[in-house]
Structure 1
């Protein structure tokens, strides 16, 4: 295995970057309320994300004790169900599980295998350990190592989460390349010294005018090609 001159290990965000998280949640919402049109479904998906974002920010800010992603997803499902007028507990549990039944993007599995043939590949996710087991099993993603923000008792973009990658690889931050479809995630990684690669996805947070990342790719396949894999 020949290292790249600029880094030794690739670290990947998972939710949104490797798997279609909004699509999985939307399927769960449609199962909960099959009568809804696309606009109604999208509104409930936004309710889910609003709850998750609010609660993660509360935890990062020290205003709420740490709760892992499974707990927050259950809360989000209950909030969505209440807004949708559904009170059935089994239906709410099924909706909460939709956050772990996430399909990979079409190029995720083959491009990850291409990259893993040349570099150590590490997943670094805000999902908790229990959720990651199910997400990776459902999607078929295979890692040399997978790390959860649960071990830092926080959520990205808290610096402690990115430092899990440096601690577990034993490498200086600038020997790691962080790959994500979310500019906010890459800004957090860059703030602690990691190199960064933005990958376009149908969902995510695109770079703003002030962003500058080491690499930009139109897909994970494109990134694998930029990095010289066959």
Structure 2
């Protein structure tokens, strides 16, 4: 395990790591289709998530020209609407912007503030520039800089997305720490030489036994404490 003094800049994944993306989308779907019970909302959430994942993978494989997250979210919202029989343009439009209104996890704001006293902190997100701006304001996330994958015209785990953060950090990648609740995200960061820290979150992607991340923690509080102690 490296020591904190080996790290110059800390980079955070945002969706799922710093904000409760599944919970926020679930709440937005319930608001759009209030007659749905929990099981129906979960099914509609799966429709949304599967569409987003499928389209991002198509872009990664160059089977679709890059489009930003706003477009994919609008498509996902329309798929949910079609499945639920929702026809109100106003309600569908609001549903499509649900990613702008996601609540932070309980330890996100305090943990980010603590780390920001010691390191420059960056957000690195799939969210479009406009969505990320509004999400940061809604959730109260205070970065030294927030970066959107839109600037790379790609989605993680494409290397060019992580290079946005390394270039912004202005130091060697081995002195930049990527923090995420998604093991696949951290593997992507490793391909460009970044250090990695896994934070457990509900709905995240847990590490495999073969993963070799520099830090692993059950919460952001725990990770911040580990970084502060080394």
TM over 0.5: yes
Aligned to 1:158: 158
Moved over 3 A (4+): none
Aligned residue number for residue 209 of structure 1:
209
SS at match of 1:227: helix
Residue 72 of structure 1 is matched in structure 2 by: 72
| 3-state secondary structure, aligned to 2:5 | coil
Note the C-alpha offset of 1:97. Answer: 1.4
Kindly provide the CA deviation profile for residues 167-197 of structure 1, in whole angstroms up to 9, marking residues without a partner as x.
1122111010000000000010011110000
Q: Does residue 93 of structure 1 match 2:93?
A: yes
1:1-230 → structure 2 map (5 Å cutoff)? 4-228=4-228
Map Cα deviations across residues 87-120 of structure 1 (whole Å, 9 max, x no partner).
2111111111112100000000011000000000
Is the CA contact (8 Å cut-off) linking 2:4 and 2:228 kept in structure 1? no
For structure 2, which runs of at least 5 residues remain unmatched after alignment?
Answer: none
Find the aligned partners of 1:105 and 1:72 in 2 and give their Cα distance.
Answer: 24
Q: How far apart in 1 are the matches of 2:116 and 2:223?
A: 13
- Alignment root-mean-square deviation, CA: 1.1
Shift in Å at residue 121 of structure 1?
0.3
Alpha-carbon offset, residue 27 of structure 1: 0.9
Alpha carbons 2:19, 2:102 under 8 Å: kept? yes
CA distance in 2 between partners of 1:145 and 1:95 (Å): 27
Deviation at 1:154, TM superposition (A): 0.4
Q: Secondary structure at the match of 1:122?
A: strand
| Paired residue secondary structure (1:28) | helix
SS of alignment partner, residue 211 of structure 1? coil
How far residue 149 of structure 1 moved from its aligned partner, in angstroms, is 0.3
Number of corresponding residues: 227
TM-score, L = length of structure 1: 0.96
Instruction: Tell me, in whole angstroms, the C-alpha distance in 2 between the residues paired with 1:203 and 1:40.
Output: 18
Q: Distance in 1 between matches of 2:180 and 2:77?
A: 25
Question: Aligned partners of 1:99, 1:113: CA distance in 2, in Å?
Answer: 23
Query: Please, what TM-score do these two structures have when normalized by structure 2?
Result: 0.96
